[in-house]
Amino acid sequence: RGGRKRGRPASRRNGDNGVRHDEVSCGGARPLSLKATASLFFELRKAANHPCLLRSHYTGERLDSIVAKTHASGYFGAQAKLHKVREELEGSSDFQLHQICEDVPGLHDLALPASKLFDSAKMRRMRALLPELKRDGHRVLIFSQSTQM
């Protein structure tokens, strides 16, 4: 038989949300390695925390513009090669790219609107819950393990 060996995982990216999925050929399932499992759960955790921790907004022409302007401005250093700048930015989340757009002159128009930054299930729930708690006289202290968003 030709083709892929039986039971080997094949990877693909889900275009809807950027979360990586591992599929196993119909020959039988093998468990994912500990590293692959941890990576998958980390991506799912990012998706659950906030959509901007993945990347779906900055693609195509938007990303091309960010690459060109960060390279031209020396944002990554005067010696940075264009292909290395692209490589770096292609691995960035929407939130990281938003921060760059805020920092680099000529990219401010590509920064995410505030509505997108606050559009997550957790933020919607907090916006609904906080006024109720305040109205009822509760004092609120919010903790987060996240260092972003």
Give the phi and the psi of residue 25 in degrees, each rounded to 5.
Answer: -60, 160
Burial of 135 (0-12, 13-18, 19+ CB in 10 A): exposed
Give the phi and the psi of residue 48 in degrees, each rounded to 5.
Answer: -70, -35
CA-to-CA distance for 76 and 39, rounded, in angstroms? 27
pLDDT at 148: 59
> Which residues of the chain are modeled with pLDDT < 50?
1-17, 20-26
Q: What is the pLDDT of residues 37-78, one digit of tens each?
A: 888 888 888 887 788 888 889 999 999 999 999 999 999 999
Question: Both tokens of residue 57?
Answer: 């907004």
Q: How far is CA 135 from the centre of its chain?
A: 35
CA-to-CA distance for 73 and 54, rounded, in angstroms? 25
pLDDT at 73: 94
CA-to-CA distance for 9 and 99, rounded, in angstroms? 35
Candidates 99, 145, 98, 89; CA nearest to 122 is: 145
